[in-house]
Amino acid sequence: MTVELFLEQLVNGIQLGTMLFLMSAGLTLTFGVMNFLNLAHGSFYMLGAFFAAIMAAWTGNFLFAVILAIICTLLVGGLLDLVILRRLYSRSHLDQVLATFGLLLAFNDLVILVWGREPLFVAIPPLLSGAIEILPGNSYPLYRLVITAAGLMTALLIWLLIARTRLGMLIRAGASNREMVSALGVNIAILFSVVFGLGAAAAGFAGAMIGPLVAVQTGMGDEILIIAFVVVVVGGISSVQGTLAASLAIGIVDTMGRFLLPKVFGFTVGPALASMAIYVLMAVVLLTRPRVSAPARAH
């Protein structure tokens, strides 16, 4: 194993981590801020990928397709919150899990009805299809670097929104004491609809950006949703900075585990151990930090 190959896999892990952050940021907002457990969050990732794939085929412009996919996913998330989900905010987590799991199944079937079972494939835009030499004699795909940069920029924007704007102040206040914020004249339902829509848009952005690297197909958000929950647990339920750090750590652990463990333990045991690596990391975090603080629900 060369140093160049090791560094390439490390960069792959960072790129995976930024995608996990985009997916997990929505869970951090909805669960950490709103105390709402949403198993249908992976569906927004899937919808973002499908919206981008279809619109890229229609318009021939991938950047325009990504922007439209973000807008469409934001609208779907806001509409879903307005029609269904806000009625579940005051219910138990068990009710929320059952209801959103049903929505997950419904979205998967809806995608099959609209776009069929065959996977869609999106070409990498010609402008981003090249490679950049990150080390002498070692090139790295430009599009993967763009994904990493987009994820880090989105992380910065989310942090600025939460920590430095009036909307972020209202979101933090609403998470701490909903009744007090409502008494001050803030429409907490609209505020939480905005939060939910932003979380959906972040997941849709992740799906739209990952589309050229994977097959766009129904159910593609289900597996990454499980990893996103691991990220939220490791990073802290209500911390955007913690979510970013956990996303990068899990992305690197998963990528390097799949790269190194088969070489160490062989291609029979190694892949099985690699698939367990992030869950072992989560277990270590829970053992060393046994109490993961959950947001208090306002009564």
Is pLDDT of 296 > 50? no
Residue 84: closest CA among 38, 27, 26: 38
Between the alpha carbon of residue 164 and those of residues 168, 171, 189, 202, 217, the distances in Å are 7, 11, 22, 19, 38
Is pLDDT of 262 > 50? yes
Q: What are the pLDDT digits (tens) for 58-82?
A: 998 999 999 999 999 999 998 999 8
Reported confidence tier of residue 90, pLDDT bands at 50, 70, 90: confident
Is pLDDT of 118 > 70? yes
Instruction: Compute and round to an integer the Cα radius of gyration of the chain.
Output: 20
For 209-235, letters b (16+ CB in 10 Å) and e give bbbbeeebbbebbbebbebbbbbbbbb
Is pLDDT of 127 > 70? yes
User: What's the pLDDT score for residue 238?
Assistant: 67
Domain-wise residue ranges, the chain: 3-120+140-288
Q: DSSP of 140-157, one letter per residue?
A: EEHHHHHHHHHHHHHHHH
User: What's the pLDDT score for residue 130?
Assistant: 86
User: What's the pLDDT score for residue 53?
Assistant: 95
User: What's the pLDDT score for residue 93?
Assistant: 86
Mean local confidence (pLDDT), 95-115:
93
Report CA torsion sign: 160, 232, 34, 291.
Answer: negative
User: What's the pLDDT score for residue 213?
Assistant: 92
Q: What are the pLDDT digits (tens) for 197-214?
A: 888 999 999 999 999 999
The answer to whether the CB of 128 falls within 8 A of the CB of 140 is: no
User: What's the pLDDT score for residue 44?
Assistant: 95
Alpha-helical runs (H) found in the chain: 3-27, 41-59, 62-83, 93-115, 142-164, 166-176, 178-183, 188-210, 220-235, 240-288
Reported confidence tier of residue 298, pLDDT bands at 50, 70, 90: very low
Q: Which residues pair with 132 in a beta bridge?
A: 140
Q: What are the pLDDT digits (tens) for 147-185?
A: 999 989 998 998 888 888 888 888 777 767 777 777 777
Q: What are the pLDDT digits (tens) for 270-284?
A: 888 888 889 988 888
